[in-house]
Amino acid sequence: MLSIVFSSVILALLLTFSHKFLTGDGDFTLLSKGKVKRESFQDKVVWITGASRGIGEVLAKQLATLGAKLIISARNEPELERVKNQISGKHGPEGVEILPLDLSSGEDAIREVVEKAISLFGGAGVDYVIHNAAFERPKSTALDVPEASLKATLDVNVVGPISLTRLLLPHMLKKGKGHFVVMSSAAGKAPAPGQAVYSASKFALNGYFHSLRSEFYQKGIMVTVVCPGPIETSNAPATSTSSKEKRVSSERCAELVLVATSHGLKEAWISYQPVLAVMYLVQYMPSVGFWLMDKIGAKRVETAAKKGNTYSMNLLFGRKKE
């Protein structure tokens, strides 16, 4: 009798666990944290790069409703104005400063922007930086990426964010605290066939920021690296894509970024299946994960060229039609 009860409990646990794994939109640690801790952001200064659209815009709006003061950056000033005018929350649009920034403009130009950032809000300094700006080119094989494109991607996605961090970090160390939130990608954890350079840029960010944290953690510097899979944004809306890719909404993605940050997680993964399973495989069973990616890699690039579903299970099981 006891063994039947015990087996039933184990079975129930396994079913719950499997259901969560199959239907969840983040890694287990992240989903176990529950809600955003509002007090983490209330009256804090949060600098978001790439806030003129997409996930950055949604992050700005959610942070404003949590009572944060915002510095929003990107190249497109009219779009930043639009975002600012749509901000509600405790401080409203008055609690938002626009700081135009081109991450590929070099260290001297970025230094000027950093100096401005720390002088805003009465010289309050910056409590959080969300390194969200990036760009990704259409998928192609690694051979088809011209050198100019390689350099441009690494400048915006890696060199710019690192320069900004190097220039801001001394100010944070003086205050004895600061938190960098890094929008990496599932492509920064697992191979991303068709996106080799983008993937390289995200792996580089992961390496840099996890190392930086280990150097300065004892001095009050936090780093949260967030690795989203496919997210629904204006660039990739769920409704207009013919490819049936299942994407987490940008609202839910932003919410989970803020959950991870406010709970002090060092890394968080946001995605539906099958991308989440691939991330777990590559992290915990790399031989199996890499075998799987080698099996689907070439097909994924072909599928991308035909605008098909690049996250489909059909890539693995070999059906030609999407």
Quick one: tokens of 3?
């063994």
Question: x/- contact string, 244-283, with ligand NAP (CB under 6 A)?
Answer: ----------------------------------------
Per the CB < 8 A criterion, the answer to whether 316 and 305 are in contact is: no
Inter-helix orientation angle 196-216/147-154, to 10°: 30
- How many other C-beta atoms are found inside a 10 Å radius of the C-beta of residue 136? 18
What DSSP character marks residue 263?
Answer: T
Which of the residues 3 through 22 are near ligand NAP (CB under 6 A)?
none
Q: Is 101 in the site for ligand NAP (CB under 6 A)?
A: yes
Cα–Cα nearest to 251, from 264, 269, 267, 270: 270
Closest separation in Å from C-beta 174 to ligand NAP: 26
**Residue 97, helix vs strand vs coil:** strand
Q: Is 132 in the site for ligand NAP (CB under 6 A)?
A: yes
Q: Please, which residue, 250 or 262, has the CB nearer to ligand NAP?
A: 250
DSSP H helices in 124-195: 147-154, 160-175
Please identify, among the stretches 35-43, 47-55, 121-129, 292-300, the one whose residues bind ligand NAP according to the rule CB under 6 A: 47-55
What residues does 26 pair with on adjacent strands? Answer: 270
Q: Is 158 in the site for ligand NAP (CB under 6 A)?
A: no
Q: Please, which residue, 163 or 233, has the CB nearer to ligand NAP?
A: 233
**Distance separating alpha carbons of residues 219 and 242, to the nearest angstrom:** 49
Binding-site member from 165, 195, 233, 262 for ligand NAP (CB under 6 A): 233
**Distance separating alpha carbons of residues 145 and 153, to the nearest angstrom:** 11
Q: Please, which residue, 52 or 262, has the CB nearer to ligand NAP?
A: 52
Quick check: is 198 catalytic? Answer: yes
Q: Which residue is catalytic, options 198, 208, 217, 311?
A: 198
The answer for 183, left when phi > 0, alpha when psi is -120 to 50, beta otherwise, is beta
Q: Please, which residue, 85 or 235, has the CB nearer to ligand NAP?
A: 235
**Residue 278, helix vs strand vs coil:** helix
Closest separation in Å from C-beta 37 to ligand NAP: 22
Q: Is 156 in the site for ligand NAP (CB under 6 A)?
A: yes
Which of the residues 190 through 229 are near ligand NAP (CB under 6 A)?
228
Judged by the rule CB under 6 A, the positions of this chain that interact with ligand NAP are 49-50, 52-56, 74-76, 79, 101-104, 132-136, 156, 183, 185, 228, 230-231, 233, 235-236
Known catalytic residues?
A: 198
